[in-house]
Structure formats: structure tokens, C-alpha cells
Chains A and B, each alone.
Chain A
Amino acid sequence: MSATMIDRIVGPRVEPTEFSRRGLRYGTPGFLLLVARVLLLVSLFLPYWHMALHAPQYPENLHLTAYINTLTGDVAEINGLNHYIGMRPLEEAAQFERSIGVYAMIGMVVLLELAAFIHTKWAALLVIPAILFPAVFLFDLHYWMSNFGQNLDPTAPLSNSIKPFVPPILGEGIIGQFKTVASAGLGLYLACAASVVQVVALYFHRRAYRPLVLAKRASVSS
């Protein structure tokens, strides 16, 4: 890649005098992206999704909690129950996603960091993965829930008494004697908040740097 091409992607720099004169204008996008990065990094340590299974013989309910990279809670007990209906062990779901989860998140954070240095519309491209991340997480969750719920072992003990099903990934559902209550975790809320912050950051980014890009383009063409 040539130096001019990098210049064109990175975009015009802000003169130090200009920056100190209008610090808020030029500093806001970078600050907001920093906030988004912090939110995403913190979310790594928080649950993204939670499901409680209510049944009479479990007065404290059974619980499943998904983090970016692990699934915790009453996994063994739920697997034990699922074997009756021929559902595969939960550990087999989203193995790839969980194995790369943390690296993907760090990658997105690095992209946001780069985006803070890019003053052209290319910055948007680097931010888009992180903006879409919560939606991607939920879609993936839905994919695995339906994959597991639809592919039951026909030789399982109770395979005759239950039809393939897809438990709702948010809200309430019914499977056998269990009522399932699924909800987003704090981590997912933080990731969503990060998405909103990033969209706002892009708005301020455009407001701050778009005039510089246009001015440079005008000076080149004249």
C-alpha cells in the first residue's frame, strides 16, 4: 500500500492550534469510541444471557448463564434432563464461537482504537462489527437453540412424547414441565450500550472531520 493510499484512508490531520481551539469538536468522537471500548471490555466479564428453568421439583430453579466464552450454571443437570428427549449435551453448542469469543472481542476493540485515528468514512467500516455484535450474538444463540431443539435423537427415552421445539431466546417458553424464562445479561446490555455510543460517535466523527476531508479534497482539486 502506498503512502498516499494510507493518507487517503487515514484522512487529514487536525492542526494542533485548530485542535486546541476546538478540542471538544475533535475530541468527542475519540472519547466516545474509548467509552465503547471500555464497555465492550467490561462486558467480557459479565453474563450475556441467562435462562431460568422453572419446575415444581426444582424450587430454586435451574439456571444457565452464557458468557462470551463459557456456559455456566446447572449444565450437568440440564444435560441429564435433556438426554431423556434426545438433545445433545449443551457443551457441543457454539464451540467455535465460544473458542474465539474473547479474541473476536479484543479484535473489535482494536478496530475501534484504529477507528479513532481515521478521519475519513473508512472509520465507519471499522466500527460496524462492534455495532452489530449484540445482534450477531442473539442470532447465533437463536441458531443454536433451534439447531438443538430441532435435532433430537429419535431413539431417546422420551422422543415420542416431545416434538422438536425452539425455546424463545428472550422471554418465556414451555418445554415439558419446565417453564423457561430467558433474559439478556448485563454484558449484553453493555454491548448494546456500546453500539449506541458508537453510532453517536460516528455522528460526531462526521461532524468533526467531514469538513476537513471536504476542504482537503477542494484544495487538491483546485
Chain B
Amino acid sequence: MRQQGSQGTGWKLAVGLIVALSGVAAGQGMKDVEAVAKERGLSAADLLAAAKTYTPSGMKDEYVIFSSGGHSGQVFVIGVPSMRLLRTIAVFTPEPWQGWGYGVGNDILAEGNVNGKPNLWGDTHHPAISETKGDYDGEFLFINDKINARIAVIDLRDFETKQIVKNPLTVSDHGGAFVTPDTEYVIEGAQYAVPLGFDYAPISEYKDKYRGSVTMWKFDRKAGRIDKSQSFALELPPYWQDLADSGKLASEGFFFLNSLNTEMATGGIESKQPPFEAGVSRNATDYLHIVNWHKAEQAFKDGKAEMIKGFPVLRIQTLIDEGILFLTPEPRSPHGVDVAPKGDFIVVAGKLDPHVSVYSIDKIKKAIADKKYSGSDDYGIPVLDFDAVIEAQVELGLGPLHTQFGPDGYAYTSLFLDSAVARWTLGGSYGAGTPEPDWTLVSKTSVHYNVGHIGAAEGDTVSPDGKYLVAFNKWSVDRFLHPGPLLAQNFQLIDISAQGTTMPVIYDMPIGIGEPHYAQIIKADKLKPWSVYPEVGWDPHKQAIDPMAPKPKQERIERKDGLVEIYGTAVRSHFTPEHVTVKQGDRVVWRITNVERAVDAIHGFAIPAYNINLSLEPGETAKIEFVADVPGTFPFYCSEFCSALHLEMMGYLMVEPN
């Protein structure tokens, strides 16, 4: 329970502030605010937090979070500072409201089949907004699926998934999605080592046969698709490469990957071998991987890749010969590797070490040029001398994981074990931006609980905005009512607008749909989404007019040789046609266009027994195909409440038995 009544003066101050902020409506004065606050046990800080986050009806949010949806396989779109869920985007998992997998998106979901087998859930971890010159441009969003090593492409004009690519080499990914500064490539680092192509090999052959990898998916911005024919991968040692980040500005042309299992532990607790959790954490250091992707791209273009599973791969020896890959020690079992806004520093947080380790790209480049190696690993990859490349180590607390940046020289790191977010100062050219000395911990804010990633407003770009930071907490324990024993995750909004030690939590948002991991926060005005599709007859998959789209007054049913083609329209409040009679066994191709132009005039199209539901947004056309194998009488209807005569918006599909 909260302490009450001990904050008399602060109270009045905050109440005054609220009243001043809201403008006193008639009959709603300070006294009323005071009374409600007293009754609900709200402190001055609570009222202030409410004033910072409460978003009255009609007021729009300043920022938008694109959050991974964890097990939901989706992406969540959330407004900041209101922390209201604006929508989910169906990606790897069928989602009935959007019709995803129930008539639309089926082909895209099928692109994610694993060895031909549908895998209809995803474990989305790391979204990446497309970038121009290292800054979010708000055009596309990419997200990985850890469980099956897939990357999805989402078009931010209509917030719909356009493509899923299945990685042919690996079956789990974690180091991605992240993009190069102009979104030339979407990068996907594999996680758990498997033989390339995930063929069978006994674990006793781990060192020889198992491999890590990182895949450079070429992005064709004009087509809005990954171009597989221009994509390639790098073979890596089986070190369980983990998180990754792209270089920018000073480190343009590089990217960086962490790794967990340079021990190459193979587990086996059941045979009295050290379990993975112990074996993987045995050494004091693992390896930060430094990849010169400009050189890798050149080697690929020069034909130095080898085809594995039909996919071009630069082998480890090529990476060594071409000077593409270097390693350097990092505190063991690290999690985040995050590049500072100017690209000059690379911050690694080792979750079992209380420090963040900050590497300098200038020093890395110099060490490479001077061949300052402390040795090489088992595969002959040069290991840069740690002391030659490290810039600073800052002690923050227990379990540092991920780092984000502010505009003024502050960095923010999540502390998993401390359940806190640390603010600390960068040095070098950032030092002047903060009143505190360089490379020091400034303050910590407690979060609830077990924070994983954090996201600051545009906090991983070349120009972070500061203002807001969200802690993506894994456990909520006592923060919300318990809806049974499966508890929501907790997104906590933190106000980071003031310098120094003030960094209050101002909102808790439960996420009860899956366990999100990373999320990015973009200024809302950078997004230019459509409110309705540009023209009637729009095919969202092609992002163009579909010449076959049914048009008003041209609705018809065409039949020939067991094929029934229906050209239908939807408009408030009727479908045309309303009677569709087919014979059992007919193949049915049903095209339907929503001819509406009004914002939010969405129609659903649901057919019972055939597992079909579409969401037809204004202007959208869709095509569904099925074999009418179940005879009977099936009332189809509009499944999105559209108008006063919505219930009347229906028709009959009659399947005549043979």
C-alpha cells in the first residue's frame, strides 16, 4: 500500500501544476483534483506523472513504439506518452481480425514454411525501422523470428507484412533484425549453432560441423522486398552469436556481434556433463565479433562465396584472408552491443559483469592496421588485443544488458539483476553535453521487474531525441491484478527529459499477449501511413491497383468446368452478389473489393465452415480460393461492424451436394 498524506506541500504544487496544465474547466477546480487524489491515494509524483502521460480523447501521441510481440509472432504499435495499444501487426502468426492467414496473407505466411512445413507461430525479438543516413525514415519495419530464423518485411504505409524470408542456413536467429545506415542490408545473426542448413550432425562433432552465421539480406527499397538473389551470408564459428548492431558515421561499413559460447560447450546434464548454463559461462571472456561488411560485400561481388544449401556463403577462411572478420575479448556472456550516436563507441554489456565495456572504433581500426593481435581463435581468426581497443569500462550494477542513448551525452543501460535502468555519461566528444564527469554512473531508476531491453526515443539512431525511455520488463509480479498465474509483461515509461538524477517512472502498461523483447520508438510525424488505400481496387500485396479487382456495377459470377469465379464488391451495407450457388467440389475463386473511400469504413467478409475471414480496408481488393467440398447452406457476413444495417450485410453461399 502507498503511504498517504505525507507530502502536503509537494501535493499542492503538483495539483496546481495539473490545474494549470489542463486549464480549469467550469466546476472542475483544484479542490476537485485534490479530493480525487486524496480518495485514490495519489501522491504529488503520481499527479505529475498523470499530467505527463494522460492523453485526452482526440489528442494524438508524440511517439510511436514498434514493439516485438514475442510469442504472439506479431508487432505491437503503441503510442507514447499515452502507452495505448494502437494496433497489432500480424506477421508470423495467423490473426483473424486482419484476416491474416484466413484468406489474406496465406501466401506470405507460406513463405515462412520450414522445409515445406508450416510453422504458424513466431518468436519476434528485434524490430528495425528502416533508416536513411542512420536515422529512422519510417518507411519499412523489419523483424526477426528467433524460433525459425526468419525475417519479415512490413510496409509502414499500410502496416502490413509484405514478405517473410526463411534463412536457409540456420534455424534460430537473434542478432537481428538490424539495418545498415541506409538500409542497404537487413542483417540477421544466427544464434544457436547448427550445421549450416540445419542438417543432422551428432553433437560430438560440434567443433567441426556446427557453425554460426550472419546473413546480409539485400533490401530493395523500391520493390519493398528483400532481394534474395543479392543476399549472402558469412560463416562464423559456433560461438552462439547474440545481439548485434550496425556501425554508423565513424564506424560506417562495420557491424558488431556478441557471442556467448566461445567455450563451445555442448551441455549434456543428463550424462553428468556440465549443463549449458555452466559450460557456456566458464570463461571470463567471450568474443566481440567485428565485421567489415563493405569488404564482405566486395568479396561476395568478386565471387568469393561458396554455395551452401543454394545460398552464397563466405567461409571463415575467406573472412580471414580478406580482412573481413576480427574478434576481441569482451566480458563473458554479454547481451547487448550498441553503437553510440556518432558511431565512435561500441558499448558491450556483459550480463555477468557489473561493467559496460566501451570500445573505440578508432582504436579498433588502428589495431587492425597495426595487426595488434593477442592471438587467434581455434579457427584462425585474429583476436585484437583487448587493451588496444578498449576505451573505458564503467561499473553500473548487476546484470547490465542493453544500452540506449540520449541526445546530450547520456547513455542508458538496463540492469536485469538490479531491476533498474542506469543513466551514465559518455566521454570523448560527448563529455561536454553532461554536467557530470565522463564515464560515470549518474543515477539509477528502479523498474518492475527484471528489465530486458530498453528503448529511448530514437535512442539507437545518429540523433537520439531523449525525452522518453521505456523499460521492457519481463516480470510484473505485483504491479497489476493477477489474471491467473500467467502474468503480463510490464512496459514502464520513464521521463528522461531532465538532466542529472531525476528519471521517474510515469506509466505502467501491461502487455498480456506475448513477451516482447526489443522495441524502437520513432517520432510520430516521421510516419506517413495511409488512412485509406490510394485507389479502389488496391492490392496491398503488390501495393498497386489490381487489374482483376471487381468494380462496382461489374459484379458477376463466371462458371466453367468446375471453376466458379466470383467478382464481388462490398459497400455499406451490402455485398454484391448476395446469392452464390456452387456445386460440391467446385473450385471457388472469390475476388472482392471494398469500394468505400471513407476513413474507417472497413468491411469484414466471413464464410462459415470454410475458415475464411477477410479484413477489407477502404479501397482494398482481395482474392480467396477454396474447394467447396462441404455441401450446405452458409450465410456469409460482414464481420466488421460497418453501419446501422451491418447485420443485414450478408449473403448466402449455397453448396449443392453431388
- Residues on A lying within 8 angstroms of B by beta carbon are 58, 74, 76-77, 80-81, 84, 157-158
Contact = CB atoms under 8 A, between A and B. Distances in A.
Contacts of A77: 597-598
Nearest to A161: B644
Given A80-B572, A81-B572, A157-B648, 13 more contacts: A58-B598, A74-B597, A74-B598, A76-B597, A77-B597, A80-B571, A80-B598, A84-B573, A84-B644, A84-B645, A157-B573, A157-B645, A158-B645
B235 interface: no
Contacts of B644: 84, 158
Nearest to B58: A59
Interface string B565-583: 0000001110000000000
Nearest to A58: B598
B596 interface: yes
Contacts of A81: 572
A74 B648 CA distance: 25
B529 to A, nearest CB: 17
5 contacts: A58-B598, A74-B598, A77-B597, A77-B598, A157-B645
Contacts of B573: 84, 157
Contacts of A84: 573, 644-645
B568 to A, nearest CB: 17
B645 A80 contact: no
Contacts of B572: 80-81
A81 B597 CA distance: 12
A79 B220 CA distance: 41
Interface in B375-396: none
Interface of B: 571-573, 596-598, 644-645, 648
Contacts of B645: 84, 157-158
Contacts of B597: 74, 76-77
Nearest to B574: A157
B326 to A, nearest CB: 58
A110 B573 CA distance: 50
A77 B619 CA distance: 13
Contacts of A74: 597-598
A153 B645 CA distance: 17
A80 B648 contact: no
Contacts of A58: 598
Nearest to A75: B597
A81 B596 CA distance: 11
A32 B101 CA distance: 71
Nearest to B648: A157
A74 B596 CA distance: 11
Contacts of A76: 597
A116 B138 CA distance: 62
Contacts of A158: 644-645
Closest 8 CB pairs of A and B: A77-B598, A76-B597, A157-B645, A80-B572, A77-B597, A80-B571, A157-B573, A80-B596
Contacts of B596: 80
A160 to B, nearest CB: 13
A109 to B, nearest CB: 36
A84 B572 CA distance: 9
Contacts of B648: 157
Nearest to A81: B572
A207 to B, nearest CB: 56
Nearest to A177: B644
Contacts of A80: 571-572, 596, 598
A58 B599 CA distance: 9
A76 B596 CA distance: 8
Nearest to B600: A57
A198 B648 CA distance: 57
A41 B573 CA distance: 43
A81 B457 CA distance: 43
A158 B645 CA distance: 9
A139 B390 CA distance: 85
A144 B572 CA distance: 25
A89 to B, nearest CB: 11
With most chain B CB atoms within 10 A of its CB, the pick from A58, A77, A81, A158 is A77
Nearest to A59: B58
A80 B572 CA distance: 7
A58 B573 CA distance: 18
B544 to A, nearest CB: 21
A58 B645 CA distance: 18
With most chain B CB atoms within 10 A of its CB, the pick from A58, A74, A80, A81 is A80
A76 B619 CA distance: 12
Nearest to B571: A80
Nearest to A60: B599
B455 to A, nearest CB: 32
A73 B12 CA distance: 51
Nearest to B573: A157
A161 to B, nearest CB: 10
A103 to B, nearest CB: 30
A77 B643 CA distance: 13
A55 to B, nearest CB: 11
With most chain A CB atoms within 10 A of its CB, the pick from B573, B598, B648 is B598
A54 B597 CA distance: 18
A58 B572 CA distance: 15
B515 to A, nearest CB: 37
B535 to A, nearest CB: 12
A26 to B, nearest CB: 57
A76 B645 CA distance: 18
Contacts of A157: 573, 645, 648
A156 to B, nearest CB: 11
A158 B644 CA distance: 10
Nearest to B645: A157
B135 to A, nearest CB: 32
Contacts of B571: 80
Nearest to A77: B598
A53 to B, nearest CB: 12
A74 B601 CA distance: 14
B56 to A, nearest CB: 14
B598 to A, nearest CB: 5
With most chain B CB atoms within 10 A of its CB, the pick from A74, A157, A158 is A157
A77 B572 CA distance: 10
A161 B571 CA distance: 21
A81 B645 CA distance: 11
A81 B572 CA distance: 8
A154 to B, nearest CB: 17
A74 B644 CA distance: 20
A84 B649 CA distance: 13
Nearest to B552: A76
B281 to A, nearest CB: 57
Nearest to B597: A76
B560 to A, nearest CB: 33
Nearest to B572: A80
A81 B642 CA distance: 12
B459 to A, nearest CB: 34
A77 to B, nearest CB: 5
A158 B572 CA distance: 13
A145 to B, nearest CB: 23
A58 B644 CA distance: 15
A109 B513 CA distance: 69
A21 B371 CA distance: 102
A129 B572 CA distance: 44
B641 to A, nearest CB: 12
A79 B645 CA distance: 16
B246 to A, nearest CB: 41
B397 to A, nearest CB: 49
Nearest to A57: B600
A74 B572 CA distance: 15
A80 B573 CA distance: 9
A108 to B, nearest CB: 36
